[in-house]
Chains A and B, each alone.
Chain A
Amino acid sequence: AQSVTQLGSHVSVSEGALVLLRCNYSSSVPPYLFWYVQYPNQGLQLLLKYTSAATLVKGINGFEAEFKKSETSFHLTKPSAHMSDAAEYFCAVHFFGNEKLTFGTGTRLTIIP
């Protein structure tokens, strides 16, 4: 069955530390992959997306993600966390043959001063 999994519903990192948010998918065919960010009381905003071009994708606010087919993963990273990165992050997947976008359950990122 096709699915998307985000490991860790809550992640805390110190300001200036590496941010790593994990996303794995289950599909025999590599899908299109997205990361969205949601700030409190707001809608979702696209951070970056993978659409079968470069496997390392750079997004807004210094975030990037690497598509690894062998690991069926699309983890989100940022070298140095900033207080303004505190938000909820959603991995989303468009599986081929499916008209909808499937979301992970989200990871809430807290930045420790």
Chain B
Amino acid sequence: NAGVTQTPKFQVLKTGQSMTLQCAQDMNHNSMYWYRQDPGMGLRLIYYSASEGTTDKGEVPNGYNVSRLNKREFSLRLESAAPSQTSVYFCATGTATLSGNTIYFGEGSWLTVV
């Protein structure tokens, strides 16, 4: 996981607060992804970016926004946090088209909304 760095690792928010999760990669990958992990539900895709300047919704985009700042960085923003957004968030990167190529994960960001 050395190539994908997420910050912060832990965060506690109050309902209604906003925050941004940062992700940076040094793997020179075109595609970047944000997933959330919840018990019994596996990983669900929130948003992804196939290349710099493009973003697309995944399975569960509601309540989130993203920015692909440059090739290296892909941030996830919660504008008004809700308890349902308590989760572990993973950033991942991959080559431009999956086609069997591996995606690489960061170590996760634990978010609690109270």
* Chain B residues, CB < 8 A from A32: 98-100
Task: Indicate whether A113 reaches chain B with its CB closer than 8 angstroms.
Answer: no
Task: Indicate whether B53 reaches chain A with its CB closer than 8 angstroms.
Answer: no
Contact with B along A41-63 (1 / 0, CB 8 A): 11111100111100000000000
A101→B35 CA distance, assembly (Å)? 10
Partner of A100, one of B45, B102, B104, B106: B45
* Chain B residues, CB < 8 A from A99: 48, 50, 56, 97-98
Residues of A within 8 A of B (CB): 9, 32, 34, 36, 41-46, 49-52, 90, 94, 99-101, 103-106
* Chain B residues, CB < 8 A from A50: 100
Q: State whether B98 touches A94 (Cβ < 8 A).
A: yes
Count B interface residues, CB 8 Å. Answer: 27
Residues of B within 8 A of A (CB): 1, 4, 33, 35, 40-45, 48, 50, 56, 58-59, 90, 97-100, 102-108
Q: State whether A42 touches B108 (Cβ < 8 A).
A: yes
Q: Which of A32, A46, A90, A100 has the most CB of B within 10 A?
A: A100
Q: State whether A43 touches B43 (Cβ < 8 A).
A: no
Q: State whether A52 touches B100 (Cβ < 8 A).
A: yes
Q: State whether B48 touches A42 (Cβ < 8 A).
A: no
